[in-house]
Chains A and B, each alone.
Chain A
Amino acid sequence: MNDIYYKTINKVTNVLLFVEGVKDAGYNELVEVKLEDGRSVTGQVLDSRDGLAIVQSFGETRGMNLGNTKVKFLGNTAHINVSTDMLGRIFDGMGRPRDRSPPIYSNESLDINGSSINPYAREEPSEFIQTGISTIDGMNTLVRGQKLPIFSGSGLPHNRIAAQIARQAKILGESEGFSVVFGGIGINSEEANFFKKEFEETGALERAVMFLNLSSEPSMERIILPRLALTTAEYLAYKENMHVLVILTDMTNYCEALREVSAAREEVPGRRGYPGYMYTDLSTIYERAGKIKSRRGSITQIPILTMPGDDITHPIPDLTGYITEGQIVLSRELYRRGVYPNIDVLLSLSRLMNQGIGKKSTREDHRGVADQLYAAYSRGKDLRSLTEIVGEEALSANDKKFLKFADSFESNFVKQDYYEDRSIEKTLDMGWDLFAPLDEREIKRIKDEYIKKYGKWNNGAK
């Protein structure tokens, strides 16, 4: 059947083709669309019935017509050739080289949709990744095999934070670093160049694979791109035993593309026009992070998304948060005050933190210090909004200490340099320094023995 071309397109929209007379197109099967001018565009079957196939085109439908545009069904679902030669290379949203080097030849060709990892085969992620960023390491610890997104807003420095994490991330006591698979989804060329330059400068490019779909390029490729990136990551992790860090930016563009297809298919929309199956669809991307018992490598995911209107209840961050194991939320307020990295710790969370911290991996007081930092900062911030109404004078002496705590927490603990790589020891010690001006009995979240051991109250004056 591979040489049969159908010339029976009876309807074209900006993303869909309706091909008549097709008897046995497979669901999700790839198709090649040949235009009159010789261009060819790839597509995929979205709905197949006896006599009609609905095809989603990944490229532009510009120039397609109903008489002479031909469609060939390729007989298989989307695959990508994978090999370690991909390291150091840059590809486009369909997996074609965009760095003027030859395409990848390999015996290994993998279905880009992957298969779900059997939950029984998974290993619980528990190895602490030191990112060198205090607010992450100390309070929202990332572990190997986790999926921890960055919830950002337009104009915030999420790319710098992601690049800093990629540069500094390491497992204590291991020399082997992370390989990076980078998926740029609908980003502009400046952002793409930023990452390219960043990887080149730090020498990370040779252990990185980049997939780029620029904002000027077909939006349908954005649906394919994260799957190409993750299939590559799975190959590197599970076949080549590498520890892979996958950065996907910007997932908001991915969801927009998904909405575009859904609208074109005239599906019943869910919230804000996004399709009802967006949760399931996103999970087939995010759930591809993890560790498998019988294999050495791992996939850690840091997807980045910009929250439309900084609204965390928008469907994109909302559904993402329900799937991922926590979230790092960036704050516009901190950014305005010049704090980098502008991570809002109160809204951020790492669900796998407990598995990765403690005596064996970081330090015994880690949990307590983190809880206490949260409690004290939250109290300080509440007081800050209270003083806006009643003035600072109305606060008790004790409350004033908490108010000051919140300020110094932001300017010392949260704020750090783009090239500052703090060890976890340093981060925790900074926490204890911050507690020192508070009354010792206000330290309720930390066990007494650790207060005695690490606290700064015992030497001399209280």
Chain B
Amino acid sequence: MEGKIFRVSGPVVIANGLDNPKMYDVVKVGSSGLIGEIIKLDKAQAIIQVYEDTSGIKPGEPVENTHRQLSVMLGPGLIGSIYDGIQRPLDKIMSKSGDFIARGIEVESLDTARKWHFIPSVKDGDEVTSGAIIGEVEETEIIKHKVMVPYGVAGVIKGLKEGDYTIKEKIASITDSQKKSVDITMLQYWPVRMPRPVVDKLPPDIPLITGQRVIDTLFPVAKGGTSAVPGPFGSGKTVIQHQLSKWSDSDIVIYVGCGERGNEMTEILSTFPELNDPKSGKPLMQRTILIANTSNMPVAAREASIYTGITLAEYYRDMGYNVALMADSTSRWAEALREISGRLEEMPGEEGYPAYLGRKIAEFYERAGRVNVMSGGTGSVTAIGAVSPPGGDISEPVSQNTLRVTRVFWALDASLANSRHFPSINWLNSYSLYIDDLRPWYLKNVAEEWPELYQKAMGTLQKEAEINEIVQLVGYDALPEADKLILDIAKSIREDYLQQSAFDEVDAYTSIRKQYMMLKSILALGDEEEIALIKGVAMEQMADLEVRQKIAKMKFVKEESIEPYYNEIISSISKIKAIEPEKK
């Protein structure tokens, strides 16, 4: 039985007479076969959100139910791809429809003709369970794609042989306890709205090292953690997301450009192949998947893009990888929800957003985590979501619902951005709830005194804010020397440490070791100056110390020459002891 369109209103289409419609079934709408998804059933009518532009579509045109849920194709070949919100490869769309995206294009998400060299890791006759790894192929130079037993399948495996296969060719078969045999290929499907199962969740006690000083030092995120980056436009949300995609020590990065600028995706496409992963030295595209549903692409596909992204992330997590998912921006996703909800004439909640906004956001972030995976190892999905609050005011529903569930908050600040302090993460408003979970790691892997340095840096910055209020009233000259010193150290922390240029070759990435040395230098100088002050030395006597210049330039010193540079600084600092108070 074929359905017929009853009503068209933007991305929402209502159809009558569909064959056994079920919630979230994928349907093909109109004579051009636009892809849509059933989001509501009302008596004989199915309400469909359509992932493509509906201009020209008329009542009476046919609607066909595919009886599938919106799913992604999983298998080797995902890495290095650029997809739209419903996993159609943009490069293949281009070869079919040219420079502009046409409607109703059907392309396969993965290359089904390409042969991959499969190496089994289990033997014929082995007992395998759902999600177990049975072999691997080299997907890129740095990523081994683990082939897993599909969910719901378990039993005795046989017919395994090393060799070259396409993703649709049979690589083995599994016979279950009922003697039912299932053919295994390297290809699987998974519905995007359903989280992939795991054994259990693990505590977040390993940091995601990002090479960004303000993040790693002050507001770290754990592997498997969640973080929100709200900020007004121009505050550098996208640059931060790009920096994390480039430099974070995750194995795989999935970047979802959700309702953002086309040129930003182009920038990633043109820069990532030329940049090397700091860990492996290979081009970044070899560990990256892009999902681009730019702001002018259909709004319903924007809603799906976030789920497509996190499902791909979970898939690689299940192989035992640490995956970082960047979603830029979740506000656009929420607006897509609002737009669809408005067209459905649902009762609006706050600011026109649907009442289920909070639940949807929480569900999304809950799919992050460091977990024991079904194949036996551990893997993680770290979710970092940009939020674009209107007017930069985070009291709005998307920011508030996001902050309720994420554990790290990087508050981007317009006034910092305007004075070109980047990354413009405000140190007074931001927080990371992982600090305590991660402390043992930092103690063990960075330095015993790390928590102390952290406390001191944060304390100094807090103090600076208080003193600055006094300066506004009485002027700088009226301050006691000790306060002037604090302002000095805080200034150095802000300018020489927290400010970091994404566009400078050396400064763009700072190893955790170098971060320690830089912070230690700044604070050690402060400590020595404090001792000198107590002895009676005036701040002015120390204003021209050469070591200040050295500390200021430290961020531009290459990783390989940082050790001797640091030692020089420490030895210059130790000479401050020799300064004697001037006699008045």
Contact = CB atoms under 8 A, between A and B. Distances in A.
Interface of A: 23-29, 46-50, 76-77, 111, 113-125, 145-146, 238, 267-271, 276-277, 279-280, 283-284, 287-288, 290, 292-295, 312-315, 318-319, 321-323, 325-327, 346-347, 349, 351-352, 354-355, 367, 371, 374-375, 378-379, 386, 389-390, 394-396, 441, 444
B356 interface: no
B425 interface: no
B59 A50 contact: yes
Contacts of B472: 386, 389-390
A351 to B, nearest CB: 8
Interface of B: 6-10, 14, 53-60, 82, 90-91, 93-94, 97-102, 232-234, 257, 259, 261-263, 265-267, 269-270, 292, 294-297, 299, 332, 335-336, 338-339, 342, 348, 351-352, 388, 390-393, 417-420, 471-477, 495, 503, 549, 552
Contacts of A116: 100-101, 262, 294, 296-297
Given A49-B14, A294-B99, A346-B419, A117 B262 contact: yes
A325 B263 contact: yes
Contacts of A270: 338, 351-352
A53 B304 CA distance: 29
Contact of A444 (B232, B297, B418, B495): B495
A347 to B, nearest CB: 6
Given A28-B55, A313-B392, A268 B294 contact: no
A249 to B, nearest CB: 21
State the 4 A-B residue pairs at the shortest beta-carbon distance, nearest first: A313-B391, A283-B295, A49-B7, A394-B475
A112 B392 CA distance: 33
- Report whether over half of chain A's contact residues are helix, strand or loop; otherwise say mixed: mixed
Given A118-B93, A378-B418, A390-B475, A25 B332 contact: no
B339 A24 contact: no
B496 to A, nearest CB: 9
A15 B296 CA distance: 26
Contacts of A355: 267
B233 A322 contact: yes
B56 A325 contact: no
Contact of B7 (A50, A326, A378, A386): A50
B54 A27 contact: yes
Given A115-B101, A375-B420, A24 B233 contact: no
A349 B234 contact: yes
Contacts of A284: 296
Given A49-B8, A270-B352, A290-B262, A113 B55 contact: yes
A47 B7 contact: yes
A26 B59 CA distance: 7
B339 A117 contact: no
A157 to B, nearest CB: 23
B303 to A, nearest CB: 12
B29 to A, nearest CB: 11
Contacts, number: 214
A121 B419 contact: no
Contacts of A379: 419
12 contacts: A26-B56, A27-B54, A27-B56, A117-B100, A117-B262, A118-B97, A118-B99, A287-B261, A313-B390, A313-B391, A318-B232, A395-B476
A27 B10 contact: yes
A288 B262 CA distance: 10
B548 to A, nearest CB: 9
A115 B232 CA distance: 29
A121 B296 contact: no
A119 B6 contact: no
Contacts of A271: 351, 390
Contacts of A122: 262-263, 265-266
Contacts of A117: 99-101, 262
A337 B475 CA distance: 28
Contacts of B262: 116-117, 119, 122, 287, 290
B332 A279 contact: yes
A29 B297 CA distance: 20
Contacts of A367: 503
Contacts of B60: 23-24, 50
Nearest to B418: A346
A268 B348 contact: yes
Contact of A267 (B234, B270, B342): B342
A24 B100 contact: no
Contact of A120 (B90, B390, B549): B90
B222 to A, nearest CB: 29
A270 B342 CA distance: 10
B493 to A, nearest CB: 14
A99 B368 CA distance: 61
Given A283-B296, A346-B419, A354-B503, A119 B55 contact: no
A397 to B, nearest CB: 12
Contacts of A123: 266
A313 B297 CA distance: 25
A277 B339 contact: yes
Of B9, B262, B549, the most chain A CB neighbours within 10 A belong to: B262
Nearest to A270: B352
Contacts of A77: 55-56
Contacts of B57: 26-27
Contacts of A378: 418-420
Contacts of A25: 58-59
A57 to B, nearest CB: 18
B299 A277 contact: yes
Contact of B58 (A24, A323, A325, A444): A24
A309 to B, nearest CB: 13
Given A28-B56, A77-B56, A118 B101 contact: yes
A122 B270 CA distance: 10
Nearest to A265: B9
Contacts of A313: 232, 390-393
Contacts of A118: 90, 93-94, 97-101
Contacts of B419: 346, 374-375, 378-379
Contacts of A267: 342
Contact of B82 (A24, A29, A76, A120): A120
A312 B415 CA distance: 13
Nearest to B345: A268
Contacts of A349: 234, 417
Given A120-B91, A276-B339, A280-B339, 9 more contacts: A23-B60, A27-B8, A47-B9, A119-B82, A119-B292, A120-B292, A271-B390, A280-B335, A323-B261
B388 A48 contact: no
Nearest to A287: B296
B385 to A, nearest CB: 15
B352 A268 contact: yes
B287 to A, nearest CB: 19
Nearest to B102: A115
Contacts of B338: 270, 276
Contacts of A293: 99
A120 B269 contact: yes
Contacts of B54: 27-28
Contact of A115 (B59, B94, B100, B339): B100
Contacts of A394: 475-477
Contacts of B263: 122, 124-125, 145-146, 290, 325, 352
B261 A121 contact: no
Given A290-B263, A386-B472, A321 B234 contact: yes
Contacts of B388: 322
Interface centre among B93, B265, B390 (most CB of A within 10 A): B390
A238 B473 CA distance: 60
A293 B474 CA distance: 59
A146 B263 CA distance: 9
Nearest to B297: A116
Contacts of B234: 321, 326-327, 349, 351
Contacts of A346: 418-419
Contacts of A374: 419-420
